[in-house]
Amino acid sequence: MQMTMRWFGPDEDKVTLENIRQVPGVEGVVGALYDVPVGEVWPLDKIEALVGQAHRAGLKMEVIESVNIHDDIKIGTPERDRYIANYQQTIRNLAKFGVKVICYNFMPVFDWMKTDMNYVLPDGSLTMAFEKKDIDKSLEEVVREVLDNANGFALPGWEPERLAKVQELFARYQDVDDDKLRENLVYFLKAVVPVCEEVGVKMAIHPDDPPYSIFGLPRIIKNREDLDWLCNAVDSEANGITLCTGSIAEDPDNDVCEILAEFTRRKRIHFAHVRNIKIIKDKDFYESAHPSQYGSLDMYRVMQALHDNGFDGYIRPDHGRFIWGETGRPGYGLYDRALGVTYLTGLWEALNKQKQPA
């Protein structure tokens, strides 16, 4: 496995490549271009500059998170073919600079949903939380709260210009139910997976977060059945998964370790987001510190499911809390993610050595 951390680029991230380079165990950064509008081709010169920065800092950049999918592709409008052609070109361009995995999601309208970006834990650290009572409000109110509470940072998948017209966006999705969204995902994958195969890139879909419908929106990557459907719909290793343990675990009916084990065996997990969450009640939760004792997931078993089934992809800790006075982009401070890396690396070393005599 290759341990990585997400990095938002020189202008958008308080955490520097030099900081990341000093975290023991980290070999690479997961990056993206944030100044190319969704749907447009990522230009070669910008990719070269981005990857070059990582390399000069002694880090790899083989995973991109994310090349986002234009709403027209998800809705299935006649304009989608132009955006799909652009996506194909972006894949080719990224491959030229050594990118191996592209993480993306297929959630309509917005990326992940949390209702509190500064939820205070008993030890005084801050984390993100989701409480159902807080989405039983008007859509505009919920969207405004998310944007206002992001400590002044842009959130991935939450472009303020796009969401300024959230009602119009919702209206565009009105005829898109789960079946239609599935059909549109398969249409997209059938077009991009052959390009990936040709240039040695793997697509890796991120599960829906949360993994059930909110605001009546369709949701199609929620559980084992959905992942099985995805793998069969386009049967290629290049049609893979970003298994985000936190997102999958937000539905307590999902058995995260079983899912990890099965899809690692099937060679479809190319990228793992490993984080812990603590279920408060029903489906309300907060993102806890990574170690098992603080959350609802047994992180030893999580890492064992990957390890014992031959995982050889990329991995990163997911959101961290804010500790030691750090502030910044919610979920993406340095300190708690670095602790996450150290913990996950320690579990992996133990798993590697468990069969050796003491």
Cα distance between residue 104 and residue 32, in whole Å: 11
Question: Taking a C-beta distance cutoff of 8 angstroms, is the pair 146, 117 a contact?
Answer: yes
Does 332 participate in catalysis according to the annotation? yes
Binding segment toward ligand CS2, per CB under 6 A, in 33-41, 101-109, 283-291, 334-342: 101-109
In whole angstroms, the minimum distance from the beta carbon of 210 to ligand CS2 comes to: 11
Among 59, 150, 244, 323, binds ligand CS2 (CB under 6 A): 244
CB 26 within 8 A of CB 3: yes
AA identity, residue 242: T
Number of chain residues interacting with ligand CS2 (CB under 6 A): 13
For the segment 181-200, give every residue that binds ligand CS2 (CB under 6 A): none
Q: Enumerate residues 277-336 that contact Mn ion by CB under 5 A.
A: 318
Tell me whether the omega of the peptide bond preceding residue 207 falls within 30 degrees of 0, making it cis.
no
Taking the complex as a whole, the smallest distance from the CB of residue 287 to ligand CS2 amounts, in Å, to: 9
- Please state at what angle helix 299-307 crosses helix 256-265, rounded to 10 degrees: 10
Contacts with Mn ion, 262-281, as mask; x by CB under 5 A: -----------x--------
Minimum distance from CB of 78 to Mn ion (Å)? Answer: 32
| Long-range Cβ pairs for the range 196-199 (8 Å, 24+) | 196/91, 196/102, 196/236, 196/238, 197/236, 197/238, 199/91, 199/92, 199/95
Q: Of 319, 335, 336, 343, which one is the catalytic site residue?
A: 319
Picked from Mn ion, ligand CS2, none, the partner binding residue 127 (CB below 5 to 8 A depending on kind) is none
Residue 126 vs 244, nearer CB to Mn ion? 244
Handedness of CA 329, 38, 243, 113 (dihedral sign): positive
Within 202-261, which residues bind Mn ion (CB under 5 A)?
Answer: 244
Q: Which of 273, 278, 290, 316 binds ligand CS2 (CB under 6 A)?
A: 273
With CB under 5 to 8 Å by kind, the binding choice for 270 among Mn ion, ligand CS2, none is: none
Peptide bond into 138 cis (omega under 30): no
Q: Shortest distance, CB of residue 318 to ligand CS2, whole angstroms?
A: 6
The span of 88-96, 100-108, 140-148, 170-178 binding ligand CS2 (CB under 6 A) equals: 100-108
Closer to Mn ion by CB, 95 or 249: give it: 249
H-helix segments, the chain: 17-21, 44-56, 71-75, 80-96, 139-148, 160-163, 166-172, 178-199, 224-233, 245-249, 256-265, 299-307, 335-353
End-to-end CA gap in the chain: 24
- Binding interface with Mn ion (CB under 5 A): 244, 273, 318
| Catalytic center residues | 206, 244, 273, 318-319, 332
